[in-house]
Amino acid sequence: MNIEQRTQEIGRSIHTAVAGEVPSLFDRKRWMGRLMEWAMEDPGFKTRLFRFIDVLPSLNTDELVVRLLREYFGGDPRIPLLIRRGLERIAGGRVMPAVAALAVRKGVETLARQFIAGRGPEKALNALRSLENEGAQASVDLLGEAVLSDSEAQDYAARYVHLLSLLGNGRRDRAEVSLKVSSFYSQIDPVDWEGSIRATMEGLRPVFETAQRTGTAITLDMEHYHIKDLTLAIFRSLCREFPDVSCGVALQAYLKDARRDLDELLRFTKAGDRRIAVRLVKGAYWDYENVTGRQKGWPIPVFLNKDETDRNFEDLTRVLLGNTHLVHSAIATHNIRSLSHAISVSEHLGISPDAFEFQMLYGMAEPIRGVLLKKGFRMRVYTPVGELIPCMAYLVRRLLENTSGESFLRRSFFERSPVEVLLRPPVPVEPRKNGSILSETFVNEPPLDFSIAENRQRMEEALLRVKDNRDRRCPLIIDGREVSTEREIVSVNPARPEEVIGRVSSASGKEASEALAGARKAWALWSKVPAGERAGHLFRAAERLRQRRFELAAIEVLEVGKTWQDADADVTEAIDYLEYYGREMIRLGKGLRLGDIPGEENEYVYRPRGVGVVISPWNFPLAIPAGMVSAAVVAGNCVVFKPSGVSPVTGSFLCRAFKEAGLPPGVLQFLPGPGGEAGEYLVAHPDVDFIAFTGSRDVGLRIVRLAAETHEGQRNVKKVVAEMGGKNAIIVDETADLDEAVKGVLESALGFQGQKCSACSRVIVVGSVAGTFVRRLREAMASVRIGPTEEPGNSMGPVVDRDALLRIRGYITLGELEGRLIYRRDAGDKGFFVGPVIIGDVAVDSRVAQEEIFGPVLAVIEARDMDEAIRAANSTSYELTGGIYSRSPDSILKARMSFRAGNLYINRKITGAMVGRQPFGGAGMSGIGSKAGGPDYLLQFMNPRCVSENTLRRGFVPEQQEQ
Ligand code: NAD
């Protein structure tokens, strides 16, 4: 009998043995089973149910529970009935919030207890004992909150040490724990490969030392793909350092890489003469991998078709069972087909049932577990232990898994699919191509994946090259000519101000006037170049930026102090603008025919405005000017571009890319110079038709004023597009997921040292959540690594120059007067470093809550309820970005309706808008203009024109032509 025939035979025998049994979750006679049934029948209900279950444990008043119950299920005939019945029984007909809340909490707790063995290790002992009595063993996993700080990581390690001491107390045979490496180092990130390995090892050391002492085994769970290779590297280091600890790692069959990783692990065991354990799972983060892969434009690491995963699982099973001398394998699945296949392979290879084990999840597939135990197989049950709130993510994952259409358990126990369908061998599908699609529709440029070693290495090399080239000189470009001036801007590294990045020529009025004349001359021709051809220049310039992306990112790291990821994000955003506006111009260039009345023809087209000035800031030194310049140029205008004096070297590379893309001389002039001098001269010049500015409010308003003045001979009223500052707030309410909120506020407030116009500088905390939120935020801030960003372990670098440093320090002093200093961190006195600061008890109208600081200073404002929070958020004259962390549908709706922000973000950080997906820009004092990276942006650089012709001549009307 071959492997497949035997698989079918075993499968059928297991299937027969479990026939008639129903795992409790699918038992329609119980309320849990009924809920699951509704969830499976109605996806909308499922979403609401799972979201409600997720938020429930963090609601700390009964009123809140009842309010959310109403918000999620108000009007749903199913849930109120169920709860009403329960309530009637408890409260004799009187529905009180406390009683209703208790009933609901009890229900969800029962549901959680289905999958989670107890609140703490001690509480789980009973469950472990009963597993033992069944003949099974356990692998205990401590569930916890996301680890966001060093202190949380230390707490986690202490909990594991305690667990291991308890398990290893001589009572349990071959006890095992499972853990996630990301819980042991809060700043873990593959970009800092060596540093992450070192710090995670440090966090894990006490745990492994205890395991060694107590003879307990440890398996590293596998988490998101992004840290998969790092996890494997940490695993190898642990194996080397702790040869006596029985150490294992999980392998996810849904990953296309899994086979390669397994081969690598086998080589590692052979070379090190050390047995390891491997737990083969299918993988629990499929949605996450699929979504983040698509969002980032990275190749999707998981198989898209479930059969491919199942087949890979079988392939990997064969490899694992063929290597039992090197690897102790755990086949972790509830799928009868997959486990029958494993048994069949083991028989075929003549392996004793002792040489490997099966694993299943606590609370799932109990009937199948029973059959395997009866057949004499070794069984380990993955047993999570923990408090209710941190367990919710796990619980919802399990519920999703069980109710998903592809769930084997659902198909076998709920839908009762025929046995031949359940046991059918997985059908391999043609591998999908994941290559880039050269499409007419715009797609964002994928960021660099720094978990890939080659990318890290190329970035290191680029940094070295940029640093070596200290004598870099960047001339002006006027009418295609390079012009060097005596006066120079010396651009320095803000982390080490003595380090020069480049010397850039600096224009005076004379050069500015020549540049304008050059632009005017070029415009005569450029304005007549067809839209598609103009767009071609943008696409070619984008290609140049792509080719130079490492060098450009390295320059930004050194010139303005961005982290590797932020610098790379600025380069990809620049590429995005070029690609997006190019396509937009092709669309708009087609013009429109308006109306379909016979006898007239109305043509609606766009014409360029003329000669414009682009003035940009330093904080997105490539992307922002790339956006403004490319929009103006592709619309048929000629441009004089004045970069910020703080980031002129990066700016010069943009002009270089356009030049290399073949942009005709004169279409784009590069004119760095002092803002108050060259900038003002250009703005006030009568031969300028429009100004595109991004920068601070004061300068923006001054430009608006200057531009409004008309001069002798001026042909146009100057159009001003001005994107200005912000004083952005995030609201965190009592229903928020604090793991997410702390992380999101931290990233939004400290990303690029708070120097993003979209940065969060006010956090408005609603009700009782303030204490916990601020404590966790403070600890998380204390764990952020500060230092020169050329070292990838530092996620906070310097602020951009001495002026910025002094201004921010001034605001910190003011904050201490206006509020209460909650947290401040010293960042040394070398370079322009400022540590993060939190100021509490801030009044809504105080200066630190009203003025843009543009640094890592966060004001905390407390509000009683959502209405007060939104009033506080809306209390400044700015209107740029805003955010809310909440799981209350009503609060989210309220924010959608009345939170004043050009870009409002719900349950995510408020920085990092993507071109084409989150067009960016504000209203109020944050700007006049249509959103950058959006469908209205180019219109600002053109004049619409309508030509109407009477086509009726002597009673004859030509036939209308299709457009
Ligand atoms: P800034 O206003 O000091 O400078 C911006 C540009 O204006 C620079 O090129 C500067 O040289 C020039 N300039 C200065 N004075 C001038 C004058 N009198 N006439 C003409 N030009 C003049 O801003 P910054 O420090 O470079 O950038 C930070 C500011 O930019 C923050 O306020 C931030 O919020 C804002 N910003 C806004 C957006 C947005 O999209 N809304 C994006 C990025 C930055």
Q: How far is the CA of 643 from the centre of ligand 1 (A)?
A: 10
Ligand 1 pocket: which of 562, 570, 615, 878 to mutate (most atoms <8 Å of CB)?
615
Helix 866-873 vs helix 889-898: angle between axes, to the nearest 10 degrees? 30
Q: What is the pLDDT of residues 896-909, one digit of tens each?
A: 999 999 999 999 99
Q: How far is the CA of 725 from the centre of ligand 1 (A)?
A: 8
Looking from the CA of residue 757, the nearest atom of ligand 1 is 34
Residue 727: the pLDDT is 98
Q: How far is the CA of 762 from the centre of ligand 1 (A)?
A: 21
- 681 CB burial (10 A radius; 0-12, 13-18, 19+): buried
Nearest C-alpha to atom 40 of ligand 1 is from which residue? Answer: 723
Is the predicted pLDDT of residue 930 greater than 70, yes or no?
A: yes
Is the predicted pLDDT of residue 504 greater than 70, yes or no?
A: yes
Q: What is the pLDDT of residues 755-788, one digit of tens each?
A: 999 999 999 999 999 999 999 999 999 999 999 9
Is the predicted pLDDT of residue 84 greater than 60, yes or no?
A: no
Residue 29: the pLDDT is 81
Looking from the CA of residue 680, the nearest atom of ligand 1 is 19
Ligand 1 pocket: which of 562, 573, 619, 937 to mutate (most atoms <8 Å of CB)?
619
Q: What is the pLDDT of residues 680-694, one digit of tens each?
A: 999 999 999 999 999
Is the predicted pLDDT of residue 832 greater than 70, yes or no?
A: yes
How far apart CA 436 and CA 446 sit, in angstroms, is 10
Q: List residues near ligand 1 (CB under 6 A).
A: 615-620, 624, 642, 644-645, 675-676, 679-680, 683, 694-696, 699, 702-703, 723-726, 757, 852, 854, 880, 921-922, 926-927
Residue 173: the pLDDT is 62
Q: How far is the CA of 615 from the centre of ligand 1 (A)?
A: 8
Ramachandran region, residue 940 (left: φ > 0; alpha: ψ -120 to 50; beta: rest): alpha
Q: How far is the CA of 727 from the centre of ligand 1 (A)?
A: 15
Residue 458: the pLDDT is 98
Q: How far is the CA of 622 from the centre of ligand 1 (A)?
A: 14
- 555 CB burial (10 A radius; 0-12, 13-18, 19+): buried
Query: What's the Cα-to-Cα distance from 493 to each of 466, 580, 949, rounded to whole Å?
Result: 11, 32, 61
Looking from the CA of residue 725, the nearest atom of ligand 1 is 34
Residue 108: the pLDDT is 85
Residue 171: the pLDDT is 53
| Residues written for the chain | 963
With b for 16 or more beta-carbon neighbours within 10 A and e for fewer, the 619-654 pattern comes to bbbbbbbbbbbbbbbbbbbbbbbbbbbbbbbbbbbb
Is the predicted pLDDT of residue 32 greater than 90, yes or no?
A: no
Residue 81: the pLDDT is 59
Residue 402: the pLDDT is 85
Nearest C-alpha to atom 8 of ligand 1 is from which residue? Answer: 644
Full DSSP string of 157-205 = HHHHHHHHHHHTTTTSTT-EEEE-GGGS-TT--GGGHHHHHHHHHHHHH
Is the predicted pLDDT of residue 95 greater than 70, yes or no?
A: no
Cβ–Cβ contacts within 10 Å for residue 292, how many?
A: 16
Is the predicted pLDDT of residue 617 greater than 70, yes or no?
A: yes
Of residues 523 and 408, which shows the higher confidence score? 523
Of residues 80 and 535, which shows the higher confidence score? 535
- Using 50, 70 and 90 to split pLDDT, how confident is the model at 410? confident
- Using 50, 70 and 90 to split pLDDT, how confident is the model at 85? low
Residue 512: the pLDDT is 96
Is the predicted pLDDT of residue 430 greater than 60, yes or no?
A: no
- Using 50, 70 and 90 to split pLDDT, how confident is the model at 962? low
Say what the pTM is: 0.94
Q: What is the pLDDT of residues 464-479, one digit of tens each?
A: 999 999 889 999 999 9
Residue 252: the pLDDT is 98
Q: What's the average model confidence in pLDDT over 812-828? A: 95
Q: How far is the CA of 673 from the centre of ligand 1 (A)?
A: 13
In the sheet that 473-474 helps form, which strands lie side by side, from edge to edge? 473-474, 496-505, 488-493
Whether residue 684 contacts residue 706, with contact meaning beta carbons closer than 8 Å, is answered with yes
Nearest C-alpha to atom 12 of ligand 1 is from which residue? Answer: 675
- Using 50, 70 and 90 to split pLDDT, how confident is the model at 396? confident
Is the predicted pLDDT of residue 75 greater than 80, yes or no?
A: no
Q: What's the average model confidence in pLDDT over 60-64? A: 87
Q: What is the pLDDT of residues 235-253, one digit of tens each?
A: 999 999 999 999 999 999 9
Residue 170: the pLDDT is 53
Nearest C-alpha to atom 35 of ligand 1 is from which residue? Answer: 695
Q: Which of 750, 731, 729, 727 lies closest to 851 in space, CA to CA?
A: 727
Q: What is the pLDDT of residues 536-595, one digit of tens each?
A: 999 999 999 999 999 999 999 999 999 999 999 999 999 999 999 999 999 999 999 999
DSSP class of residue 856 equals S
Looking from the CA of residue 706, the nearest atom of ligand 1 is 19
Looking from the CA of residue 726, the nearest atom of ligand 1 is 34
Residue 316: the pLDDT is 98
How far apart CA 680 and CA 508 sit, in angstroms, is 11
Q: What is the pLDDT of residues 327-357, one digit of tens each?
A: 999 999 999 999 999 999 999 999 998 899 9
Nearest C-alpha to atom 34 of ligand 1 is from which residue? Answer: 725
Is the predicted pLDDT of residue 431 greater than 90, yes or no?
A: no
- Using 50, 70 and 90 to split pLDDT, how confident is the model at 27? confident
Residue 105: the pLDDT is 86
Is the predicted pLDDT of residue 435 greater than 50, yes or no?
A: no
Share of the chain above pLDDT 70, in %: 96
Whether residue 795 contacts residue 450, with contact meaning beta carbons closer than 8 Å, is answered with no
Ligand 1 pocket: which of 694, 703, 752 to mutate (most atoms <8 Å of CB)?
694
Q: What is the pLDDT of residues 666-719, one digit of tens each?
A: 999 999 999 989 999 999 999 999 999 999 999 999 999 999 999 988 989 999
Nearest C-alpha to atom 36 of ligand 1 is from which residue? Answer: 695
Q: What's the average model confidence in pLDDT over 787-812? A: 97
Residue 963: the pLDDT is 52
Catalytic residue list: 723, 757
Nearest C-alpha to atom 42 of ligand 1 is from which residue? Answer: 757
Residue 87: the pLDDT is 47
Q: What's the average model confidence in pLDDT over 169-177? A: 70
How far apart CA 441 and CA 917 sit, in angstroms, is 12
Looking from the CA of residue 618, the nearest atom of ligand 1 is 26
Q: How far is the CA of 839 from the centre of ligand 1 (A)?
A: 26
Is the predicted pLDDT of residue 433 greater than 80, yes or no?
A: no
Q: What's the average model confidence in pLDDT over 14-33? A: 85
Looking from the CA of residue 852, the nearest atom of ligand 1 is 32
Ligand 1 pocket: which of 566, 641, 696, 930 to mutate (most atoms <8 Å of CB)?
696
Q: Which of 584, 319, 649, 298 lies closest to 447 in space, CA to CA?
A: 298
Q: How far is the CA of 723 from the centre of ligand 1 (A)?
A: 9
How far apart CA 838 and CA 833 sit, in angstroms, is 16
Ligand 1 pocket: which of 644, 691, 803 to mutate (most atoms <8 Å of CB)?
644
- Using 50, 70 and 90 to split pLDDT, how confident is the model at 960? low
Nearest C-alpha to atom 22 of ligand 1 is from which residue? Answer: 675
